[in-house]
């Protein structure tokens, strides 16, 4: 089973509009609501891949109940700690010119007691999990070192753990050497405090992180796929060109693809092809954290994995 952790759950709203301009009245042509937060996207996608999943984290108030209701409708098993404060909403405005503008609420404060309750539940969840993913930001009231503690506990029980976050939680989390991280160039620059001016410097920075004890360093390249750094080689997984519909959730879909690959014992080349094809298939749909299997299969055959060094 793949367990996904989302501490900062959200109701994701996608607004489709015509022209977008500041200071005006925007008429929404179409609106879709989905259970959001990076880890929930991972859970939904991993389930679409055919794996057993469990979504964990915090939910609160009417919005949190709505998230649980939507997950139940999608048959996504979940075990959340209920909080007194309301779960946030995040809005993605998709304009006719192809641009995507996101408004992300920070998330209401979580109490110390609620954090302790979650950590107790997380310890129990680890025992029944094969792979664990930890994704996204943390809400107010949660210490920046919580991901480090979670990674340490998972590794003590010999469970692979994938960490996809940024800022201070990432800086703290990598101290515990998660199995996989998925930073972009800006996040690597912030982690190491050095300038990155080209692809070669990006790879060298990624190799430095990998040598610190992280088995897989996956560097997001957007539409150009991902660079994957392991003990043996540096790989580039490059997808074919596609007509993108919505890029929100593509990174989470890639994390799900890698989690599934680890769960199934794929070779590194097959794992990269699978993760990149899942991520690209997500970009072909309006719904966040969703893909059509026939799209994924078609893309899988067209993803090119090359050994850079």
**Residue 274 main-chain phi, psi, to 5 deg:** -65, -50
DSSP secondary-structure letter at 86? Answer: P
CATH of the domain at 173: 3.40.1190.20
Give residue 33's region: left, alpha or beta (phi > 0; psi -120 to 50): beta
Instruction: Domain count for the chain, please give it.
Output: 1
Residues 158, 249: Cα–Cα separation, whole Å = 28
Cβ(262)–Cβ(179) under 8 Å?
yes
Per-residue pLDDT band at 289 (split at 50, 70, 90):
confident
Which is nearest to 42 in space by CA: 220, 290, 298? Answer: 290
Q: Which helix or strand (DSSP H or E) is residue 12 part of?
A: strand 10-16
**222-266, pLDDT tens digit by residue?**
889 999 999 999 999 999 998 888 788 899 999 999 999 999 999
User: At CA 132, angle to CA 158 and CA 266, rounded to 5?
Assistant: 80
Looking at residue 256, its pLDDT comes to 97
pLDDT given for residue 183 in this prediction: 93
Which two three-digit tokens encode residue 247?
């890029």
State the Cα–Cα distance between residues 121 and 8, nearest whole angstrom: 16
pLDDT at 73: 95
Q: Which pLDDT score is estimated for 222?
A: 86
Q: How much is the average pLDDT of 106-114? A: 93
CB 111 within 8 A of CB 87: no
Tokens (6 digits) for 218:
């996956």
pLDDT of 286 over the 80 cut: no
Query: Tokens 């972009």 appear where?
Result: 184
Instruction: Tell me what the pLDDT averaged over the chain comes to.
Output: 93
Residue of 76, 70, 2, 7 whose CA lies nearest to 257: 2
Count the helix, strand and coil residues of the chain and give each as a percent rounded to the nearest 5.
40, 25, 35
Which helix (H) or strand (E) element contains residue 217? strand 216-220
48-107 pLDDT, tens per residue?
Answer: 999 999 999 999 999 999 999 999 999 999 999 999 999 999 998 988 887 888 898 988
Stretch 206-225: mean pLDDT: 94
Active site residues: 252
Alpha-carbon span 56 to 36, nearest angstrom: 12
Instruction: List the single range of 163-167, 193-197, 249-253 with lowest mean pLDDT.
Output: 193-197
Banded model confidence at residue 195, pLDDT cuts 50, 70, 90: confident
Asked if residues 230 and 216 have their Cβ atoms less than 8 Å apart, the reply is: yes
Give me the domain span that covers residue 262.
2-307
């Amino acid at each position: 089973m793949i367990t996904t952790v989302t501490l900062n759950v959200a109701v994701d709203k996608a607004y489709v509009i015509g022209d977008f301009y500041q200071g005006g009245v925007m008429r929404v042509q179409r609106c879709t609501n989905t259970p959001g937060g990076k880890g929930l996207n991972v859970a939904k996608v991993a389930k679409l891949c055919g794996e057993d999943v469990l979504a964990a984290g915090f939910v609160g108030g009417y919005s949190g109940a709505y998230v649980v209701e939507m997950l139940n409708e999608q048959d996504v098993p979940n075990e959340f700690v209920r909080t007194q404060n309301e779960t946030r909403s995040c809005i993605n405005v998709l304009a006719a010119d192809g641009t995507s503008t996101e408004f992300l609420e920070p998330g209401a404060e979580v109490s110390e007691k609620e954090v302790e309750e979650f950590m107790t539940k997380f310890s129990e969840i680890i025992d029944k999990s094969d792979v664990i993913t930890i994704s996204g930001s943390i809400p107010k009231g949660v210490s920046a070192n919580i991901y480090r503690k979670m990674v340490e506990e998972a590794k003590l029980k010999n469970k692979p753990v994938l960490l996809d976050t940024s800022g201070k939680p990432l800086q703290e989390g990598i101290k515990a050497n998660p199995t996989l991280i998925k930073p972009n160039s800006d996040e690597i620059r912030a982690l190491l405090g050095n300038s990155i001016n080209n692809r070669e410097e990006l790879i060298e920075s990624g190799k430095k992180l990998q040598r610190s004890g992280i088995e897989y360093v996956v560097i997001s390249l957007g539409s150009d796929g991902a660079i994957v750094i392991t003990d043996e080689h540096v790989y580039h997984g490059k997808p074919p060109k596609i007509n993108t519909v919505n890029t929100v959730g593509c990174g989470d879909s890639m994390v799900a693809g890698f989690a599934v690959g680890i769960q199934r014992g794929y070779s590194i080349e097959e794992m990269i092809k699978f993760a990149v094809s899942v991520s690209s298939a997500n970009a072909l749909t309006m719904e966040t954290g969703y893909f059509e299997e026939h799209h994924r299969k078609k893309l899988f055959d067209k993803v090119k994995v090359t050994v850079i060094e």
